[in-house]
């Protein structure tokens, strides 16, 4: 949803779509905003995205378990069993990304 322009200018990392397509990024010099300049096929992009999301979802679950232990959240039966979504779409819904 947001990237710092210096991150792109310094070549600090990379970005993917939810479908695992790698994005080519640039910076609009008029306002220092990050822009997408193209897309590149990434043979293992979907697995990279799923791996990132699984790690993030695990951290969210850990945080929710901590809150539930303090009475500040109620876990779903799936969360109680440690079951997380398996699809990219489900993982995105679980961690709460929005546009």
> What global pTM score does this model have?
0.80
pLDDT exceeds 80 at position 19? yes
User: Which pLDDT tens digit goes with each residue over 33-60?
Assistant: 999 999 999 999 999 999 999 999 999 9
pLDDT grade, residue 99 (50/70/90)?
very low
Mean pLDDT (the chain, rounded): 92
**Distances, alpha carbon 4 to alpha carbons 11, 32, 79, 96, in Å:** 11, 9, 33, 21
């Amino acid at each position: 949803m947001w990237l710092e322009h210096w991150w792109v200018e310094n070549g600090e990392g990379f970005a993917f779509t939810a479908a695992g397509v790698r994005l080519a990024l640039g910076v609009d010099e008029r306002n220092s905003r990050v822009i997408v300049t193209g897309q590149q096929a990434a043979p293992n992009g979907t697995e990279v995205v799923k791996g990132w999301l699984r790690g993030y979802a695990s951290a969210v679950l850990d945080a929710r378990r901590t809150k539930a232990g303090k009475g500040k959240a109620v876990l779903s039966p799936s969360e109680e069993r440690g079951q997380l979504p398996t699809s990219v779409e489900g993982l995105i819904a679980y961690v709460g990304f929005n546009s």
